[in-house]
Amino acid sequence: MPKAFIFPGQGSQYVGMGEDLYHAFENARERYSEAAEILGYNLSTISFKGPENELLKTQHTQPAIFVHSIIIDECLKINGIKPYAVAGHSLGEISALVSAEVLTFEDALQIVKVRSHAMAHAGAINPGAMAAIIGIDDKQLKTICNQSGVVVPANLNTPRQIVISGEIEAVKKAISSAKDLGIRRVIPLNVSGAFHSPLMEPARKSLEEVINSVNFHNAKIPVYQNFIAKAVTDCENIRENILYQLEYPVLWSDTILNMLQNGTTEFIEVGPNNVLNRLNYQINQEIITKNFDKIEDFFASEIL
């Protein structure tokens, strides 16, 4: 049964993530030790103990999710569960590149380190906001994004769930416009910037420099990238698409549908929480998605 690994992005974090893995698996202890050296602070303390306001900072959230996801990925493979293809939502795409052996753990974490700081800095320079819009069609999306100021689709998560991103006032106007159209749910998101929008432009130079400073290898298995929602294996194309992802929308729904069309029969969400599982269900209720977040998930699946 062809299995695809999918890796979550920012928003899936929670205080306590990874602590059970740390005590159970040697590779988890090694990865958190390596992360402390690369990041210059003790990531395990923030991941395990918080406080939540520290974990919610972009420069902590992204490394925490990445390291947690890679530990799970390694544990699955050690126990004989391997993917035929991978994808990741936003930050999760970098986790997917490690799984596909495009990047080493160390090089990928260097990218995550720079990416998270650069995105936080861009959010400080260009204050922005994001909101999830539930129950929206393409015509309504165009209407609510037709505002003075910058507001664009950022995450095309499911056919009926879109996240918009942009300048604070423009997003407020878009939210008001959505309510006027009778959109059933509009949820402002607790984020530190307008991710996947033109407001992330100040982060581009730093991200480009670190991406060009590390070695990318051709993918051992197909990687479905956010920018194009299609499988890529060539390392130079992957490198370009990772940079484009910063300012362009995450085409998640199309990614999952393309993976299904190309033979995926089961998805495994690799990392904290079950955000992608829920999105998959909204894309197609027949999709089979298993979650691996905690050690109990391994026992429940009779892997350990």
Res. 244: pLDDT tops 90: yes
Please write the tens of the pLDDT for every residue from 88-121.
999 999 999 999 999 999 999 999 999 999 999 9
pLDDT of residue 165: 98
Separation CA 140–CA 119 (nearest Å): 29
Residue with the two structure tokens 């080493």: 104
Report CA 5 to chain centroid distance, whole Å: 13
* Catalytic option among 90, 177, 192, 197: 90
Residue with the two structure tokens 């090089």: 107
165 in active site: no
pLDDT of residue 1: 64
Domains detected in the chain = 3-124+198-300 (3.40.366.10), 128-188 (3.30.70.250)
What average pLDDT score do residues 238-247 get? 97
Please write the tens of the pLDDT for every residue from 2-24.
899 999 999 999 999 999 999 99
Amino acid (1-letter code) at residue 249: P
* Catalytic option among 99, 177, 196, 253: 196
Residue 86 contacts residue 46 (beta carbons within 8 Å): no
pLDDT of residue 300: 87
What average pLDDT score do residues 279-303 get? 93
pLDDT of residue 284: 95
Question: Mean pLDDT score of the chain, rounded to an integer?
Answer: 96
Ranges of beta strands (E only) in the chain are: 3-7, 85-88, 128-134, 151-158, 161-167, 185-188, 223-224, 231-232, 266-270, 289-292
pTM, full prediction: 0.97
Residue 108 contacts residue 102 (beta carbons within 8 Å): no
Please write the tens of the pLDDT for every residue from 120-174.
999 999 999 999 999 999 999 999 999 999 999 999 999 999 999 999 999 999 9
Encoded tokens for 209: 């420099």
Res. 248: pLDDT tops 80: yes
Separation CA 101–CA 263 (nearest Å): 21
Separation CA 272–CA 292 (nearest Å): 8
Taking phi over 0 as left and psi of -120 to 50 as alpha, with beta for the rest, 207 belongs to alpha
196 in active site: yes
Please write the tens of the pLDDT for every residue from 183-218.
989 999 988 899 999 999 999 999 999 999 999 999
Strands 266-270 and 231-232, sheet pairing: unpaired
